[in-house]
Amino acid sequence: MRIAFIEPAIAHVEPLGIASLVQMLLNDGHSVMYFESPRKGFVERLKKFNPDILAYSTTTGKHRLCRDLNEELRKSIKAISIFGGPHCTFYPEFIESSALIDGICIGEGDFAITELLKRIENKEEYIKTDNWWVRVDGQIYKNQIRNKVENLDALPFLNREVIYAENEQLRRTPIKRIIASRGCPYSCSYCFNKTYNFIYSGKGRVNYHRSPLNIIEELKLIKKNYPFSFLKIVDDTFGLNMDYEEFARLYSQEVGVPFLCNVRPNLLNQDKIKCLKKAGCVAVTMAVESANDYVRNKVLCRNLDLKVMSDAITALKENGLRVYTQNIIGNPGETFAMAMETFNFNVKHCVDFAECFLLTPFYGTEIYENCVKNNFLEEGINMDNMPQSYWLGSCIKFSSLKEKDKFINFHKFFSFGVQHPRLLPLIKILMKFSPNKLFVLFNRFYDSWRITRIIRVKMDIIILIGVVKMNVKYIFGFFLKTDSHSKF
Ligand code: SF4
């Protein structure tokens, strides 16, 4: 069969989930291509490929773009449309929103997609395929979830080539990403993992990781075939159950490329930090979220002591690692003084970059339910029209509009202020203005620049031109567009 994966935007980072499914399908003898929607000749090239299947991987917010694009494409392409990704996992009822969505995959797609397509290809009945909600002759059939993939080493390595054939920029960028494990056992209220673990209860362990050897083999292939001078390990919590020492030994000997990973402070100790350092880790991303105990542990359910975070940052910095924190402000019930505690915590620990988000309570998370129950969502906001952006505005109700504007503006200067705390009085003056696009652009550009300071990778000239072009396009698009989901 011919399968076209469709991305309704130009991807700025490799779509790892799609790249993994591509190889599974190629191994089954299918013909697979990846298309990004606004590219030149997109529809013509897609028609020429003549796909039997249009496949989309979607998150909440992006689901509207995918659905609309699919409806447009199906006017001239006769194919079956299947959707997967987080939005489908947590809201499979999405299938009801368009008669042209033929299948929704819940949870892991690896063997779900290969089994479904095998049945379709062999003209077998496919209404009873685990993990799928399928529409046949106008009727929707709902199936159970299969067990999780236990042995991640048995999965093929991602197929980057099919992705790069469409997006040359991703091939050329020396920053590559991998997934080393799946799952997280924690229950943070704003994160999908709690619900994911519930959906999969009794269907396999919560956290699985690849063996260090398997990870290294994939990285050696990347190193051999593509520009590769920085690695981002995208796991929610890197090395949760992994043998850090073996990974460090193999990585430093066989890969030797600086890398960044996500860590949870309570899982770190001096030995692990030293292993990370020895392996070649130069920076870590660590979620602080809030330094206020009530917000962090009661609202966001982080179950973390402030001192544990403080000690972890100190130890990481003492070992020469750059620390990139993630913070959330604008939480339900949070006062400005509480948000300032988070700001001051970052300043006190001299973090290298304090990225900040405005809370967006995505459907499928515990905090979404709490916001609905306690009337914290703005009038008219629901699962289907939830804003996609957590860096633009907020859909949370505040004590007054003035207070909300203050939070939205504070967010735009948070990371800058942490690096330049002496300018806080100026930031406080700017916070009195109405939220506006200039502040948004300042925030976007400042944060992008800070990230380059964390990663410190030299880019070739073509990549730099690509980045400049992308930013110019972004600025024009941003100033011309009115986002109906925020006040901009
Ligand atoms: S620790 Fe991170 S990945 Fe795990 S549940 Fe919390 S926010 Fe999600």
Q: Do 24 and 109 sit in the same domain of this protein? A: yes
Ligand 1 pocket test: pick from 90, 192, 193, 296 the residue with the most ligand atoms within 8 Å of its Cβ.
193
Q: Do 96 and 194 sit in the same domain of this protein? A: no
**Ligand 1 lined by 263 (C-beta under 6 Å):** no
Q: Do 191 and 329 sit in the same domain of this protein? A: yes
Residue 386 predicted with pLDDT over 80? no
Examine residue 164 and state whether it is found in any structural domain, yes or no.
no
Residue 464 predicted with pLDDT over 80? no
User: For the domain that residue 27 is a member of, what is the CATH number?
Assistant: 3.40.50.280
User: For the domain that residue 221 is a member of, what is the CATH number?
Assistant: 3.80.30.20
**Ligand 1 lined by 359 (C-beta under 6 Å):** no
Ligand 1 pocket test: pick from 179, 188, 195, 234 the residue with the most ligand atoms within 8 Å of its Cβ.
188
Domain boundary among 142, 161, 182: 142
How far does residue 194's CA lie from ligand 1's centre (Å)? Answer: 8
Domain boundary among 142, 164, 183: 142
Looking from the CA of 457 toward its CB, the CA atoms found within 13 Å total 24
Examine residue 359 and state whether it is found in any structural domain, yes or no.
yes
Q: Do 203 and 275 sit in the same domain of this protein? A: yes
Q: Whose CA is nearest to atom 6 of ligand 1?
A: 188
Are 327 and 356 spatial neighbours (Cβ–Cβ below 8 Å)? Answer: yes
- Tell me the residue type at 245: E
Q: What are phi and psi of 50, to 5 degrees?
A: 55, 60
**Ligand 1 lined by 184 (C-beta under 6 Å):** yes
Q: Do 116 and 188 sit in the same domain of this protein? A: no
Ligand 1 pocket test: pick from 179, 200, 237, 327 the residue with the most ligand atoms within 8 Å of its Cβ.
237
Reported as a single tens digit per residue, the pLDDT across 156-185 is 999 999 999 999 999 999 999 999 999 999
Instruction: Quote the mean pLDDT of the chain.
Output: 93
Examine residue 321 and state whether it is found in any structural domain, yes or no.
yes
- The atom number, within ligand 1, closest to the CA of 184 reads 4
Q: Do 120 and 237 sit in the same domain of this protein? A: no
Examine residue 80 and state whether it is found in any structural domain, yes or no.
yes
Q: Do 395 and 254 sit in the same domain of this protein? A: yes
**Ligand 1 lined by 191 (C-beta under 6 Å):** yes
Q: What are phi and psi of 133, to 5 degrees?
A: -105, 120
**Ligand 1 lined by 186 (C-beta under 6 Å):** yes
Are 166 and 22 spatial neighbours (Cβ–Cβ below 8 Å)? Answer: no
pLDDT value at residue 479: 65
Return the C-alpha torsion angle 176, 182, 188, 194, nearest 10.
140
Q: Do 36 and 94 sit in the same domain of this protein? A: yes
Residue 470 predicted with pLDDT over 80? no
**pLDDT confidence bin for 466, thresholds 50/70/90:** confident
Q: Which two tokens stand for residue 387?
A: 């804003």
Q: Which two tokens stand for residue 284?
A: 């870590």
Examine residue 154 and state whether it is found in any structural domain, yes or no.
no
How far does residue 303's CA lie from ligand 1's centre (Å)? Answer: 11
The whole-model pTM stands at 0.93
Reported as a single tens digit per residue, the pLDDT across 313-336 is 999 999 999 999 999 999 999 999
Examine residue 343 and state whether it is found in any structural domain, yes or no.
yes
pLDDT value at residue 462: 73
Number of domains observed in the structure of the chain:
2
Reported as a single tens digit per residue, the pLDDT across 206-240 is 999 999 999 999 999 999 999 999 999 999 989 88
Examine residue 318 and state whether it is found in any structural domain, yes or no.
yes
Q: Do 178 and 264 sit in the same domain of this protein? A: yes
Reported as a single tens digit per residue, the pLDDT across 338-366 is 999 999 999 999 999 999 999 999 989 99
Examine residue 158 and state whether it is found in any structural domain, yes or no.
no
Structural domain containing residue 302: 173-479
Q: Do 387 and 241 sit in the same domain of this protein? A: yes
**Ligand 1 lined by 3 (C-beta under 6 Å):** no
Residue 431 predicted with pLDDT over 70? yes
Are 35 and 7 spatial neighbours (Cβ–Cβ below 8 Å)? Answer: yes
Q: Whose CA is nearest to atom 8 of ligand 1?
A: 191
Distances (CA, A) of 304 to 105, 307, 440: 34, 9, 31
pLDDT value at residue 389: 73
Q: Which burial class, exposed, middle or buried, applies to 253 when counting CB atoms under 10 A from its CB (0-12, 13-18, 19+)? A: exposed
Ligand 1 pocket test: pick from 182, 189, 191, 300 the residue with the most ligand atoms within 8 Å of its Cβ.
191
pLDDT value at residue 480: 63
Reported as a single tens digit per residue, the pLDDT across 272-328 is 999 999 999 999 999 999 999 999 999 999 999 999 999 999 999 999 999 999 999
Q: Do 221 and 124 sit in the same domain of this protein? A: no
Q: Which two tokens stand for residue 106?
A: 């819940």
